[in-house]
Amino acid sequence: NAGVMQNPRHLVRRRGQEARLRCSPMKGHSHVYWYRQLPEEGLKFMVYLQKENIIDESGMPKERFSAEFPKEGPSILRIQQVVRGDSAAYFCASSPPGPSTDTQYFGPGTRLTVL
Amino acid sequence: DAKTTQPTSMDCAEGRAANLPCNHSTISGNEYVYWYRQIHSQGPQYIIHGLKNNETNEMASLIITEDRKSSTLILPHATLRDTAVYYCILQGGATNKLIFGTGTLLAVQP
């Protein structure tokens, strides 16, 4: 059973461009979470999605950031008009359908560098 | 804010047991104690979790005090590859999100 997959692993964008980060959950998992880790800082929750629904986006910046988890295909974290402060590692996690206590399994992350 | 407190760093000799403590005095009855680790900027790796009973798996053991206000993660025979930041996290209740604290940097020494 393949783990959580994220691509690209590394992404370089210039200021003002758009960044799209993709996350394919583990097989059978319908819950997806995105976390961000700024340089030399801890991981911070961004958003929690189930298929076609955003459940909790309390950690998402109010502007430029959006996330989706369509019925078919991977979850997408989209950052519009990137700025240098968006440079970070973005981790996706998934868990099976079930209670909030289910284990979250993390992907390897996407490292975004904004020039 | 994280509901757990952990020492900032610890050292352990290779081959010895590593005992990582965690305080969670405000834990709720339906919250589980989860442990993850992050090896040098890789994705966090799940280690073990428990509610109130002690747990053991192929990676580690988890000892939870009877009042559930603290716990200890035990790596029975630490290796250099166990050098990582270890996070103790409470999961459950009204939210699914994980709230990471600063964790404990475990340095396994040769």
Which pLDDT tens digit goes with each residue over B30-66? 889 999 999 988 999 999 999 998 999 999 999 999 9
Bridge partners of A110, per DSSP, are A90
Cβ contact (<8 Å) for B94 and A109? no
Mutation choice for A interface testing from B35, B62, B91, B96 by most A CBs within 10 A: B96
Task: State how far the Cα of A113 lies from the Cα of B15, in Å rounded to an integer.
Answer: 38
Task: State how far the Cα of B72 lies from the Cα of B51, in Å rounded to an integer.
Answer: 13
Task: State how far the Cα of A55 lies from the Cα of A26, in Å rounded to an integer.
Answer: 19
Residue B93 in this model has a pLDDT that exceeds 70 = no
Bridge partners of B49, per DSSP, are B34
Residue A108 in this model has a pLDDT that exceeds 80 = yes
Cβ contact (<8 Å) for B92 and A59? no
Comparing C-alpha atoms, which of A109, A86, A85, A88 is closest to residue A33? Answer: A109
Taking residues B85-95, what's their average pLDDT? 85
Residue A100 in this model has a pLDDT that exceeds 70 = no
Ranges A55-59, A84-88, A91-95, B91-95: which has the least confidence: B91-95
Residue A35 in this model has a pLDDT that exceeds 80 = yes
Q: What is the mean pLDDT of chain B?
A: 93
Taking residues A40-46, what's their average pLDDT? 91
- What pLDDT is attached to residue B2? 75
CB atoms under 10 Å from CB of A15, counted, come to 11
Residue B95 in this model has a pLDDT that exceeds 80 = no
Taking residues A77-97, what's their average pLDDT? 96
Cβ contact (<8 Å) for B95 and A104? no
Distance in Å, alpha carbon of B16 to nearest chain A alpha carbon: 28
- What pLDDT is attached to residue A101? 66
Residue A88 in this model has a pLDDT that exceeds 60 = yes
B 11-40 residues inside an 8 A Cβ radius of A: 30, 32, 34, 36, 38
